[in-house]
Amino acid sequence: MRRVFWRSLQLRVVTSTMVISIVVVAVLGVFLMQQIARATLEARESAARSEAQADRNAVLGYLNQPAAEAAKQPVESGQALQAGGGSPLSQATDALARRAGSASRYSVIIRNENRPGEFYGTTNIDPVSIPPRQREELFKKEAGEDSTWYTPLYYKGQPEPVPGLIIGTRLDTWGTGLDTSYEIYHLVPLDKEERILASVQQMIILVGAGLVLLLAAIAFLVTRQVVTPVRLARQAAERLAAGRLDERLKVRGEDDLARLATSFNEMAANLALKIHQLEELSQVQRQFVSDVSHELRTPLTTVRMAADLLYDAREDFDPMAARSAELMQNQLNRFEAMLADLLEISRYDAGAADLDIDSVDVRDVVLRAVADSEALAERHSTRFDLRLPGEPCMAEMDSRRVERILRNLLFNAIEHGEGRDIVVSVGADRDAVAVAVRDHGVGLKPGEENLVFDRFWRADPSRARTIGGTGLGLAISREDAMLHGGWLQAWGAPGEGSQFRLSLPRVAGAVLRGSPLPLVPPEVEMRRTWRGQHMTPVLSPAVIDGGRDAD
């Protein structure tokens, strides 16, 4: 899902639009809901205050009647005085009950401070609905001041409370003959308002969800108009990169996307023209190298015959002439080697190289390459340390090309090994075989692991080649390894020497997924680990072309 999300611009835009829309709609919905709830409750509270004020005046009128003395008659503690009594409070309660109409509108509770257990109530309101803290707050206020509380209301016969509003007021009757104080509470149920607010909230949620989906759909349609041409351009660019130089985009309209398509088509046309010109130039160059190499063989053969005669008769010449004959012989050998390498490179460039596959023992190929390199190794005071397995290492390969790879690696190790031992290791597993050539010479600097396989590259341009190499050996070796579907990798470090590893699949044409030998020498890896400097090897271009790292 993460990969799909980051690969799809349209999905990211739609997702971002939905997330932002949800946040905005949620904030606006909460704000709108708060405003609606505040306005609804304020309107209900204002109406309740008006009714409470009118009811207080009505109660005061009943208390001022001459029959107010009847209100002093004893009442059993906790008993509610209902309609039908002759006291002013009961008459006032009857009047308030008629004014309220039903408990769904409001209820009234009247308490006499001189009679704590007595209360007068309309309908079936339960006096426990009045919070004790509200009564304490009411006693701290002046007579006539309101105390407003939002609290659950309890009704007799109903198991569940309902949300409500209580407006309480103290009513003093000093000087009227009663000489007492009354508490009047108006209890207004808010269940209807709660249901209305719940409906409004549900409607806001539905409208908000619909708005979010609508915005997401709009974002999808809008981005599709932009993403679709971009996606087509990407697909065309991929096909163009794959070699289909005739790929073009359809131009529709005159907007920015149309101009982008026009620019892309112009770029593709110019690129195709340049590539065609470069292909023609490369073909001319390859043909030139091939023709020159072939044409040079005839005069070179004649020169070789004359040089061989002079070289064989050098003992009859004076020292200067004899030395000249030896130099000419050496340079002719180098010239022939360079000519052969140029012909081989031209075959690779022309795509004409092929393999002569046969099942051979890699150990035999290594021994033949070492035997061909022993004379050169003796001249440089170098000794080979062979580490071959005891069992045959059979693999399908072109033994001539693999032997040439190993000779190039051995010659390179002799030239840069500074006379120290060269370790040649052979390894094999179920799927691959490998040969590693390790020298203990100057080594390679960081980044040079990728350059050693370039044509005519030298780490130190001022340093002459000591064994007369052409500068194409490692480049040809890499091409030979890639032709087998294998890897040719290099590792090196200043002062620790270098190691080249050739890895080939056991079966021709199989995909190489690993190597039985490590690229970094085990002793170097162990030393680096001890020092806490674990080193990650840099791979050669052959590994990059192979598509996988063996280590």
Q: Per residue of the chain (551 residues), what is the pLDDT tens digit?
A: 778 777 777 788 888 888 998 999 999 999 999 999 889 888 888 888 888 888 777 777 776 665 444 444 443 333 343 433 456 677 777 777 777 666 667 888 887 776 766 677 777 788 888 888 888 888 787 776 778 888 888 888 788 888 888 888 887 765 544 556 778 888 888 888 888 899 999 999 999 999 989 988 888 888 888 778 888 887 888 888 887 878 888 887 777 778 888 888 888 888 888 888 887 777 776 677 667 766 777 787 888 888 888 888 888 888 888 888 888 888 887 777 777 777 777 666 666 667 788 899 999 999 999 998 888 888 888 999 999 998 889 999 988 889 889 988 999 899 888 888 999 999 999 899 999 999 988 888 888 888 888 777 766 555 555 554 556 778 888 888 888 889 999 998 888 889 999 999 999 888 888 899 998 888 887 777 776 554 444 444 444 344 333 33
Spell out the alpha helix ranges (H) of 452-515: 473-483
**488, burial (CB in 10 Å: exposed 0-12, middle 13-18, buried 19+):** buried
Which residues does residue 498 pair with via DSSP β-bridges, in sequence order? 439, 492
Nearest alpha carbon to residue 551 among 531, 522, 529: 522
Place of tokens 């005891």: 390
CA distance 471 to 494: 21
CA distance 541 to 414: 23
**99, burial (CB in 10 Å: exposed 0-12, middle 13-18, buried 19+):** middle
Cα 221 to chain centroid distance, Å, stands at 26
Q: What CA–CA distances, in Å, run from 502 to 260, 267, 372, 487, 524?
A: 47, 41, 18, 6, 19
Beta carbons of 311 and 325 less than 8 angstroms apart: yes
What single-letter amino acid sits at 267?
Answer: M
410 C-beta neighbours (distance < 10 Å), count: 26
Q: What is the CA radius of gyration of the chain?
A: 51
Query: Quick one: CA dihedral 258, 264, 270, 272, positive or negative?
Result: negative
Beta carbons of 542 and 490 less than 8 angstroms apart: no
Q: What CA–CA distances, in Å, run from 457 to 12, 404, 434, 463, 471?
A: 48, 19, 25, 12, 7
pLDDT value of residue 546: 41
Contacts of 105 (CB under 8 A, 6+ apart): 188
pLDDT value of residue 536: 46
Residues in the chain: 551
**397, burial (CB in 10 Å: exposed 0-12, middle 13-18, buried 19+):** buried
Q: Dihedral through CA 535, CA 536, CA 540, CA 544, nearest 10?
A: 180
Beta carbons of 465 and 457 less than 8 angstroms apart: no
Beta carbons of 189 and 160 less than 8 angstroms apart: no
282 C-beta neighbours (distance < 10 Å), count: 12
Angle between helical axes of 256-312 and 319-350 (0-180°, round to 10): 150
Spell out the alpha helix ranges (H) of 101-190: 132-140
pLDDT value of residue 365: 92
467 C-beta neighbours (distance < 10 Å), count: 12
Contacts of 249 (CB under 8 A, 6+ apart): 232, 233, 236, 261, 264, 265
pTM listed for this prediction? 0.46
**428, burial (CB in 10 Å: exposed 0-12, middle 13-18, buried 19+):** buried
Tokens of 167: 């407006």
pLDDT value of residue 466: 53
Nearest alpha carbon to residue 484 among 500, 507, 513: 507
Beta carbons of 517 and 531 less than 8 angstroms apart: no
Angle between helical axes of 473-483 and 319-350 (0-180°, round to 10): 30
Beta carbons of 348 and 479 less than 8 angstroms apart: yes
CA distance 20 to 73: 70
CA distance 425 to 437: 7
Contacts of 486 (CB under 8 A, 6+ apart): 502, 503, 504, 505, 512, 542, 546
Furthest-apart CA atoms within the chain: distance in Å: 167
Query: Quick one: CA dihedral 380, 385, 391, 394, positive or negative?
Result: negative
pLDDT value of residue 424: 93
CA distance 184 to 72: 17
pLDDT value of residue 549: 39
DSSP, collapsed to helix, strand or coil, labels residue 550 as coil
Q: What CA–CA distances, in Å, run from 127 to 29, 131, 184, 185, 349?
A: 38, 9, 12, 10, 104
Query: Quick one: CA dihedral 186, 189, 192, 198, positive or negative?
Result: positive
CA distance 134 to 150: 10
